[in-house]
Amino acid sequence: MNKLQLNKSQSGLAAVEATLVLPLLLLLMLAIGEFGRLLYQYNTLTRAVRAGAQIEVDANNIFDSSAKASREQRITNLILYGNVTGGSNTLLPGMTSDDIDFNYMQSPAGSGDWYYQVDVSYNWQPMFGASLDTFFGDVLSLSFPLSSSITVRELSQ
């Protein structure tokens, strides 16, 4: 068999290989991009929770039960919008004030110190949809909660 006949039998093989491999490569690239987006949004969530709790400690580290509602509103605004006054565009899409919980605890040692805990659970979903239909007629949910929490100590009055 000469060289010319060998090359003719191989023509078009690269196009077939590319057709088979290209969808897998694109799917892999999409998965890597979504994973990066997930890590970015988790980092944003964690930094917002820390900033919200920390700004209140820096402003007034004495526990005052009468100012609890205004404190929770400032922390909620900081976590949702990135500032204490509020806004219209949230830092994370679809995040609401219902995703934020506050818990207050007194020190068990009897020192009179108070602790408050800020828990946030954000329902993350990929850009291409929250669910995927399977071959068996079931729906596979692609969203899951990203959770972040911080506990801050305050001194008693």
Domain positions in the chain: 12-154
Instruction: Residue 105: name the closest of 96, 115, 95, 113 by CA.
Output: 115
Res 69 pLDDT > 90: no
pLDDT classification of 100: cutoffs 50, 70, 90:
very high
Res 60 pLDDT > 60: no
Instruction: Note the pLDDT tens digit of each residue in 141-156.
Output: 888 899 999 988 776 5
Token code pair at residue 91:
């830092």
Predicted pLDDT of residue 4: 55
Q: What is the CA radius of gyration of the chain?
A: 26
The CA distance from 17 to 151, in Å, is 55
Q: If you average pLDDT over residues 11-35, what whole number do you get?
A: 89
DSSP letter at 110 equals S
Q: If you average pLDDT over residues 14-38, what whole number do you get?
A: 91
